[in-house]
Amino acid sequence: MDWIALDERQQTGHALIDEDHERVVALINQLASAITQHQSKEVCGTLLDQIIQNTKAHFARENRLMAEHRYPRAEEHMTQHAHLVEEAQSLKRWFDTAAVESVMSVSLLHFLESWWTEHIPTSDQALADFIASARRS
């Protein structure tokens, strides 16, 4: 069973954004599976690195879209991106040095889940709606 299931609430209607989300969610679910299967710290760390890199690339694409479409809430949205990346990198540093991997792994998965369930349906949806509206004008 997937840690995070894709459903209509996470679909923004913007193909590029949605494709990025699907890719990141697949990696999060791979990490959750690796953790629950007690795979090595190296395997989990590699997946976490991939999640962070894909997330950074996704945020860069969203930042370009915001600039291209002169999104009025771009600064707030980019601040959220910076905060999420810093949190993820902080968790990665903790993961790299943690002695108790199971506690850290649960914290990591909960952070990733909250990012998914809070940021995407609100901030990313607002961006996608703005772009769609701008294209119709």
Q: Which residue has the tokens 């889940």?
A: 113
CA torsion, points 38, 85, 113, 102, in degrees to nearest 10?
30
pLDDT score, position 52: 94
User: Which is nearest to 54 in space by CA: 99, 87, 88, 79?
Assistant: 88
In this structure, the chain runs to a length of 137
Query: What tens digit of pLDDT does each residue of 61-98 get?
Result: 999 999 999 999 999 999 999 999 998 898 888 888 87
Confidence of residue 27 (pLDDT cuts 50, 70, 90): very high
Average pLDDT over residues 17-44: 90
Confidence of residue 102 (pLDDT cuts 50, 70, 90): low
Query: What tens digit of pLDDT does each residue of 48-57 get?
Result: 999 999 999 9
pLDDT score, position 99: 64
| Assigned CATH class of 13-136 | mainly alpha
- pTM for the model: 0.84
For 9, 40, 69, 75, 86, the CA distances from 47, given in Å and listed in that order, are 25, 11, 33, 29, 17
Instruction: Measure the CA angle with vertex 127, ends 85 and 115; round to 5°.
Output: 35
User: Which is nearest to 61 in space by CA: 124, 137, 126, 5?
Assistant: 124
